[in-house]
A = this chain, B = another copy of it.
């Protein structure tokens, strides 16, 4: 990803755009035959970044500095290079090519992440653990369902990324204020085709920035989904919970002070990285409202958030994939925590059975809540046992019925159906 944003790669793309434009102009007779051949003398040049910088110190204009540098290699024909173009044509089209290249890498990263999530999801499809709402024991679920949810969310993100990629896959070679006054629209269409871009429907010298705002918004959503998964793992790693844990390598040290420590540092790091990716959204939105046909306030923003955000997200996706792949899962601790819940997770089935038997919802709720609160506040009471001894409840429900609803299978009966919804029929 770093290569996508290197100075030399940028110059390479700039040259590509100028060369394709020349070729197109030669094709439709706007520059003399043979011009493109001369221009191509500069292909493969190992750009001397320092020298171009020196020229820019005088011109205070990056594209003109680049063209001046190029002319050394091209000679007399260089007067046809950039003909009818304005620097935005080159800069904006190049930026979109870079975003497109970055998107392809991110897409590849998401594919790998999805693969890892799917594998671990199936591995733990039936690994029962307690589900928690508000951080409080609720009802049983499976670890595989947690990963299936993450998979479904990331698959949505992949689709969003693909649409966002389509949004920024446009190029513009429309000249000053976008009127094509000095350049034939055919040149734009030929160059865009070669770059796998669509011509921008209408540009005002610049490609409109609503497209880029959409792009960075999608990156922020992906990063926030990563944070969601990272936060789940951080919670499961807590000393008191320890249902899963990041792998900890030979020689690794958790703390400079406390040799006993093993910390979920990778997922904490992912939490921070999500904040960094998210912060690009507001400036990307502020970039939309440029003055008249264009101003250049967006430029410094994009020079920063373009590389920073895609590199950070790419790193985060790769890191999360590794975390998922190597995640240590502890089914025994999941059982231990489930037992710790003292059977309270059966409260709903009981409530519903009572209403089915004719008890009003309010009364059923009160009866069940009363027992549940006693168990909650006790050290060693067991919910099912307490229920069995409750006269009110006994008058409606017999022991067998109670046994039936308190089986774990009661909660997992639709796991396969849910896996089918997420991963498709096998």
Segment 233-291 of A: residues with Cβ below 8 Å from B = 234-235, 237-241, 249, 251-265, 268-269, 271-276, 278-283, 285-291
A38 within 8 A of B: no
B221 contacts A217, C-beta separation under 8 Å: yes
Q: In the assembled complex, which residues on chain B have CB atoms less than 8 Å from the CB atom of A401?
A: none
A51 within 8 A of B: no
A45 within 8 A of B: no
Q: Is the interface of A mostly helix, strand, loop or mixed?
A: helix
A213 within 8 A of B: yes
A145 contacts B179, C-beta separation under 8 Å: yes
Shortest CB distance A343–B (Å): 9
Q: In the assembled complex, which residues on chain B have CB atoms less than 8 Å from the CB atom of A192?
A: none
B237 contacts A136, C-beta separation under 8 Å: yes
A202 within 8 A of B: yes
A214 within 8 A of B: yes
Q: In the assembled complex, which residues on chain B have CB atoms less than 8 Å from the CB atom of A211?
A: 156
CB closest chain-B residue, reference A344:
B260
A335 within 8 A of B: no
A194 within 8 A of B: no
A208 contacts B149, C-beta separation under 8 Å: yes
How many copies of this kind of chain does the complex include?
Answer: 4
Shortest CB distance A143–B (Å): 12
- Binary CB contact string for chain A from 352 to 370 against chain B (1 if under 8 A, 0 otherwise): 1001001111101100110
Binding-face segment, A4-12, A76-84, A96-104, A111-119: A76-84
Q: Which of A82, A231, A282 has the most CB of B within 10 A?
A: A282
A193 within 8 A of B: no
Segment 48-96 of A: residues with Cβ below 8 Å from B = 58-61, 63-64, 67-68, 71, 76, 78-87, 90
B232 contacts A292, C-beta separation under 8 Å: yes
Beyond A61-B252, A185-B417, 13 extra complex contacts between A and B, CB < 8 Å: A132-B239, A133-B292, A136-B254, A138-B258, A141-B204, A141-B293, A176-B257, A180-B414, A224-B286, A258-B345, A260-B375, A268-B296, A274-B289
Q: In whole angstroms, what is the CA distance A282 to B223 when docked?
A: 12
A120 within 8 A of B: no
A361 contacts B234, C-beta separation under 8 Å: no
Q: In whole angstroms, what is the CA distance A304 to B76 when docked?
A: 46
A71 contacts B362, C-beta separation under 8 Å: yes
Segment 22-51 of A: residues with Cβ below 8 Å from B = none
Q: In whole angstroms, what is the CA distance A234 to B301 when docked?
A: 18
CB closest chain-B residue, reference A81:
B361
B179 contacts A260, C-beta separation under 8 Å: no
Shortest CB distance A229–B (Å): 9
Q: In whole angstroms, what is the CA distance A368 to B257 when docked?
A: 11
A134 contacts B295, C-beta separation under 8 Å: yes
B348 contacts A259, C-beta separation under 8 Å: yes
A63 contacts B260, C-beta separation under 8 Å: no
Q: In whole angstroms, what is the CA distance A231 to B163 when docked?
A: 28
A318 within 8 A of B: no
A382 within 8 A of B: no
Shortest CB distance A371–B (Å): 9
- Binary CB contact string for chain A from 376 to 412 against chain B (1 if under 8 A, 0 otherwise): 1000000100000000000000000000000000111
A286 contacts B295, C-beta separation under 8 Å: no
A221 contacts B213, C-beta separation under 8 Å: yes
Q: In whole angstroms, what is the CA distance A81 to B138 when docked?
A: 21
- Binary CB contact string for chain A from 162 to 203 against chain B (1 if under 8 A, 0 otherwise): 010001000000011111111001000000000000000111
A208 contacts B153, C-beta separation under 8 Å: yes
Q: Which of A134, A249, A296, A365 has the most CB of B within 10 A?
A: A134
Can you identify 29 A-B contacts, CB atoms within 8 angstroms? A59-B252, A60-B253, A61-B253, A68-B362, A82-B256, A84-B352, A87-B257, A131-B178, A132-B291, A134-B261, A136-B264, A138-B293, A141-B178, A141-B204, A156-B211, A175-B257, A175-B348, A180-B413, A180-B414, A220-B281, A235-B292, A240-B241, A257-B348, A260-B347, A261-B347, A275-B287, A276-B301, A278-B282, A279-B282
